[in-house]
């Protein structure tokens, strides 16, 4: 890292996907951007780690991590460090790799989510040209669990007829509903449903208008509209209908599922947006924690301080805008508030998930009604097909909103998901592993328009990135005072036309 400029149009703190998209967008608009991150890798909470990094994060003590950091610093300075003076933490079992080149075959996503094939993030990737630097593969299947059995989610009239997920009596009504979804055009009243006003009727009323029963409504709302709970039922029907349309259109692009996933894992996304920002002159500095935000006499941002990543001398740069992820404001109640807790398990498996036709990748939703909960449980699965692990292994995640944070046994809330993976009651097969983490979910208290400190939201329990792009658009509007419109790069447009 060379010298820093004296002033930047924006300083972005953190290299999570939200922050890196904004960095790339601002760079493309000709703004001078500095992006710093306290971590040694791109991605922050949306990073992908190799298996040794996973052990350091989940299996090492704070003391072992401190010793490792001091050893790395000493080696950078050219000092000899004796092995006995730097006790290492535990290494992964030999089955997962015996040396760095083998550890690097793993790309384990900390926030396992999929992209919707026709979703906003996918469109942003195409318009910005990031798809030149990243490969996206289709996910093998989309499932919902009923009675302990996973079923493929039907998304067309034909699939509705053949699916055993709904009763024969309900198939007719579901066919009509899916036909409405497939044909709907906002500006063509002939495609609208008589008696249904998307802005006045609730989604609960919409289901009733189509004759859909409680179970059919639930799996549509949770497995297609992808809501995490039932609070959406009493809100206007427009947003749920738009979500279902997105699901069906994404499904239509490939056929097996509406989801896609990057080759080499989700960490590719923030890293490639970082590359895009650098193309436009953006500056990045890892291993660089935020030390202080500076304010002028009127209480508006005027600069930031941070240690130089190489010399560790304090650097001060001027800026009028700071965008940061909430992890940099922990304990600052005036800046962020906790809105819930999420529990997530990342599992290394040696087998596919039973009931998915040996799919190499899949999403499975266990609706709340099937477990007596208020929130759904989400399972995602990827494999060596995506170059995220060696052949013979699978990476699965199980996550849900934590409903009883004071129970003393948060792991129990994931048990239905573990059972679906074959890991129920604490079982682990040979050469299998799981990492469990309870995560606080934060959102900003203020919108940032007064002091020009704009804070992103934590990644939620949803299984896709649509809420992330919503946050990107919201922050952009607060920063710039206008809606975000991403123009397709000219060179990318020429490629599409050819």
**486: Cβ contacts below 8 Å, ≥ 6 apart:** 25, 124, 127, 128
Say if residue 272 is in the same domain as residue 219. no
pLDDT digits (tens, 9 = 90+) for 88-140: 799 999 999 999 999 999 999 999 899 999 999 999 999 999 999 999 999 99
- Domain of residue 486 covers 7-107+265-334+444-492
The answer to the question of residue 195 being in a domain is yes
DSSP code per residue over 312-326:
--EEEEEES-EEE-G
Does 81 have pLDDT greater than 70? no
pLDDT digits (tens, 9 = 90+) for 201-244: 999 999 999 999 999 999 999 999 999 889 999 999 999 999 99
pLDDT digits (tens, 9 = 90+) for 62-76: 999 888 888 877 777
CA separation for the pair 242, 116 (Å, rounded) = 13
CA separation for the pair 134, 131 (Å, rounded) = 5
Cα maximum dimension of the chain: 78
Q: Assign residue 239 the CATH number of its domain.
A: 1.10.405.10
The answer to the question of residue 34 being in a domain is yes
The answer to the question of residue 378 being in a domain is no
Give Cα separations from 248 to 81, 179, 221, 364, 458 (angstroms): 58, 11, 13, 17, 27
Confidence (pLDDT) at 498: 44
The answer to the question of residue 290 being in a domain is yes
**134: Cβ contacts below 8 Å, ≥ 6 apart:** 125, 262, 263, 268, 269, 272
Q: Hey, which bits of 287-414 come out as E strands?
A: 292-295, 301-307, 314-319, 322-324, 336-349, 362-366, 377-383, 394-401
The answer to the question of residue 231 being in a domain is yes
CA separation for the pair 212, 170 (Å, rounded) = 7
Tell me which residue of 97, 15, 85 sits closest to 52, measured CA to CA: 97
**pLDDT band at residue 30, thresholds of 50, 70 and 90?**
very high
Say if residue 26 is in the same domain as residue 97. yes
């Amino acid at each position: 890292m060379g010298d820093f400029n004296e002033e930047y149009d924006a300083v972005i703190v953190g290299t999570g996907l939200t922050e890196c998209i904004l960095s790339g967008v601002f760079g493309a608009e000709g703004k001078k951007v500095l992006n710093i991150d306290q971590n040694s890798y791109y991605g922050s909470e949306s990073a992908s780690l190799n298996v040794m990094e996973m052990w350091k994060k989940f299996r090492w003590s704070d003391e072992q991590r401190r010793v490792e950091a001091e050893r790395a610093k000493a080696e950078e300075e050219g000092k000899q460090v004796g092995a006995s003076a730097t006790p290492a933490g535990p290494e992964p079992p030999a089955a997962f790799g015996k040396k760095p080149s083998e550890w690097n075959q793993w790309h384990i996503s900390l926030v396992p989510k999929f992209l919707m094939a026709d979703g906003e993030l996918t469109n942003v990737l195409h318009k910005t040209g990031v798809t030149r630097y990243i490969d996206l593969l289709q996910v093998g299947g989309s499932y919902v669990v009923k009675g302990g059995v996973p079923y493929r989610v039907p998304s067309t009239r034909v699939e509705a007829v053949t699916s055993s997920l709904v009763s024969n009596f309900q198939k007719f009504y579901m066919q009509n509903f899916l036909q409405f979804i497939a044909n709907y055009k906002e500006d063509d009243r002939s495609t609208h449903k008589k008696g249904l006003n998307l802005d006045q009727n609730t989604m609960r009323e919409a289901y009733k208008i189509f004759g859909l029963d409680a179970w059919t409504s639930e799996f549509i709302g949770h497995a297609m509209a992808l809501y995490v709970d039932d609070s959406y039922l009493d809100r206007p029907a427009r947003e749920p209908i738009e979500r279902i349309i997105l699901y069906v259109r994404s499904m239509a692009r490939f056929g097996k599922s509406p989801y896609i996933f990057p080759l080499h894992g989700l960490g590719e996304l923030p890293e490639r947006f970082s590359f895009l920002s650098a193309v436009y002159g953006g500056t990045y500095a890892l291993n660089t924690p935020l030390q202080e935000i500076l304010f002028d006499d009127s209480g508006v941002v005027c600069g930031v301080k941070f240690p130089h990543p190489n010399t560790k001398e304090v650097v001060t740069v001027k800026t009028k805008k700071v965008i940061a992820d909430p992890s940099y404001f922990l304990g600052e109640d005036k800046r962020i508030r906790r809105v819930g807790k999420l529990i997530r398990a990342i599992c290394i498996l040696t087998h596919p998930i039973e009931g998915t036709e040996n799919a190499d990748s899949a999403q499975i939703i266990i609706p709340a009604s099937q477990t007596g909960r208020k929130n759904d449980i989400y399972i995602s699965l990827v494999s060596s097909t995506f170059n995220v692990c060696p052949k013979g292994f699978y990476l699965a995640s199980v996550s849900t909103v934590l409903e009883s944070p004071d129970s003393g046994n948060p792991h129990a809330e994931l048990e239905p998901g573990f059972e679906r993976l074959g890991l129920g009651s604490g079982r682990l097969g040979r050469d299998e592993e799981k990492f469990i983490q309870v995560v606080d979910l934060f959102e900003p208290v203020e919108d940032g328009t007064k002091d020009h400190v704009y804070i992103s939201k934590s990644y939620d329990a949803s299984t896709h990135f649509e809420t992330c792009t919503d946050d990107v658009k919201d922050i952009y509007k607060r920063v710039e005072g206008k809606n975000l419109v991403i123009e397709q790069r000219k060179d990318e447009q020429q490629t599409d036309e050819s």
